[in-house]
Amino acid sequence: MPQTAVATEREVGALSEDLRLACMRISRRVRFESAGEIAPHQFSVLARLERGPASPRALADVEKVSAPSMTRTVGCLADQGLVARHDDPDDGRRIIVELTDEGRAALRRTRQGRNRWMHERILELGEQDRRALAAASEVLARIAAR
């Protein structure tokens, strides 16, 4: 392998690690700086329910958590009035969970808080950095879509 290819491979490796770490840190900050009324794991469940009702088991599978953990999360969300639990009409042994109007409002408020947090960070940047972020966001969207 020519010397330039090795350097390029190392540069791509370093960029990959730097980018992964930066994305993880931003994701964590956005989730926790603007958590507000609902915890990040609760937000994730509510966002899943936006697509339609689901059983706690299905939610646990999608969220990669244990069934007892999801049962606790759903119970907490129900206690807050953010979800409603109903008997499954096709299987009386199962429960179906659906988003309430208050749950939709909580999702909206949380998203607004997260967007506000990011907006404030971007406003602190200069025009050149904002242009670089605009270009990078297009590239990151393509990477995420693969």
Output the domain CATH number for residue 86: 1.10.10.10
Is pLDDT of 49 > 70?
yes
Confidence of residue 7 (pLDDT cuts 50, 70, 90): low
The encoded tokens of residue 47 equal 């966002």
Would 59 be classed as within a structural domain?
Answer: yes
For 61-70, the CB contacts below 8 A with 24+ separation are 65/41, 70/45
Would 84 be classed as within a structural domain?
Answer: yes
Would 62 be classed as within a structural domain?
Answer: yes
Does this model's pTM top 0.85? My answer is: no
Confidence of residue 9 (pLDDT cuts 50, 70, 90): confident
The whole-angstrom separation of Cα 58 and Cα 107 is: 20
Q: What domain count does the chain have?
A: 1
Supply the pLDDT for residue 6. 61
Would 77 be classed as within a structural domain?
Answer: yes
Confidence of residue 129 (pLDDT cuts 50, 70, 90): very high
Supply the pLDDT for residue 119. 95
Confidence of residue 77 (pLDDT cuts 50, 70, 90): very high
83-122 pLDDT per residue, tens: 999 998 888 788 999 999 999 999 999 999 999 999 999 9
Would 50 be classed as within a structural domain?
Answer: yes
Would 5 be classed as within a structural domain?
Answer: no
Is pLDDT of 31 > 90?
no
Would 26 be classed as within a structural domain?
Answer: no
Residues spanned by the domain of 133: 34-145
Would 115 be classed as within a structural domain?
Answer: yes
